């Protein structure tokens, strides 16, 4: 399996879209893309999510990664794969989903919360493990403590992540940061403010790009 964090490079952000229906998903994703985000996760708890994945794959530029989230069964995975999902995510770890993803050649990101669960996911072959919901259990501080004894773990943090805390999570060791409620707010509602969404998306992208540039400068100075 490939590492989604490495695929996303300097902008290791994933926007996670969840709503009763996907009526506003395309315009929202267009805003996010134009602001520099290059990955979205469409949750299968949204009615019409599979059709939305198909639409995004056909209408958005090819460098946008479109994934499916909240998978619960191999039938969910098959539907997501057939729709063109480039990665799939579950809230829990599943041998059934892992084996089905391997057979289809789809990147599967299992969910975990405790150190034991993260270790088991990695032992089962996961390149990246989703840590969720990270916000309610301590946020950045929890990630710091979790990674202290396993610093090589590749973690995708989601669940209660604030836009203002993105750099903190990256500095704490997160490989990927998933943004949902605090990024999207009212944008998925019929009269949602897309201009305000664009402002938050630019803030998020600028934060990680500035942090990445600073890290490269620091590494270059060390190499002198």
Active-site residue flag, 41: yes
Say whether domain 4-223 belongs to CATH 3.30.428.10: no
Predicted pLDDT at 212 = 73
pTM score, two decimals?
A: 0.95
Predicted pLDDT at 215 = 65
Selecting among 6, 30, 41, 162, the annotated active-site residue is 41
Selecting among 6, 117, 130, 221, the annotated active-site residue is 130
Q: Side by side, which strands form the sheet with 65-69?
A: 107-109, 87-89, 65-69, 39-43, 13-17, 176-179, 155-157, 129-131, 111-112
211 pLDDT more than 90:
no
Q: Where are the domains of the chain?
A: 4-223
Active-site residue flag, 6: no
Predicted pLDDT at 2 = 78
**Tokens encoding 194:** 């897309």
> pLDDT tens digits for 109-159?
999 999 999 999 999 999 999 999 999 999 999 999 999 999 999 999 999
Give 1's pLDDT tier (boundaries 50, 70, 90). low
Q: Using the structure block, give the residue that is written with the tokens 């789809």.
A: 106
Beta-carbon contacts of 96 under 8 Å, excluding residues fewer than 6 positions away, are: 73, 74
Average pLDDT over residues 59-67: 98
Beta-carbon contacts of 123 under 8 Å, excluding residues fewer than 6 positions away, are: none
């Amino acid at each position: 399996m490939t590492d989604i964090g490495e695929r996303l490079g300097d902008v290791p952000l994933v926007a996670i879209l969840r709503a009763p229906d996907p009526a506003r998903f395309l315009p929202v994703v267009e805003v996010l893309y134009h602001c520099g985000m290059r990955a979205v996760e469409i949750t299968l708890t949204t009615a019409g999510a599979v059709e939305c994945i198909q639409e995004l794959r056909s209408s958005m530029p090819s460098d946008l990664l479109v994934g499916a989230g909240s998978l619960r069964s191999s039938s969910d995975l098959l539907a997501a794969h057939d729709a063109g999902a480039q990665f799939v995510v579950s809230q829990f770890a599943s041998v059934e989903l892992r084996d089905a993803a391997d057979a289809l050649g789809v990147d599967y990101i299992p969910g975990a919360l405790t150190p034991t669960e993260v270790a088991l996911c990695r032992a089962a072959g996961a390149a990246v493990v989703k840590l969720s919901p990270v916000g309610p259990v301590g946020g950045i501080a929890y990630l710091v403590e979790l990674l202290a004894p396993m610093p090589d773990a590749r973690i995708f943090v989601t669940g209660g992540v604030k836009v203002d805390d993105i750099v903190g999570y990256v500095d704490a060791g997160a490989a990927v940061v998933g943004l949902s409620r605090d990024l999207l707010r009212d944008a998925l509602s019929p009269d949602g403010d897309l201009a305000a969404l664009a402002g938050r998306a630019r803030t998020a992208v600028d934060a990680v790009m500035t942090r990445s540039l600073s890290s490269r400068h620091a590494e270059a100075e060390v190499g002198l």
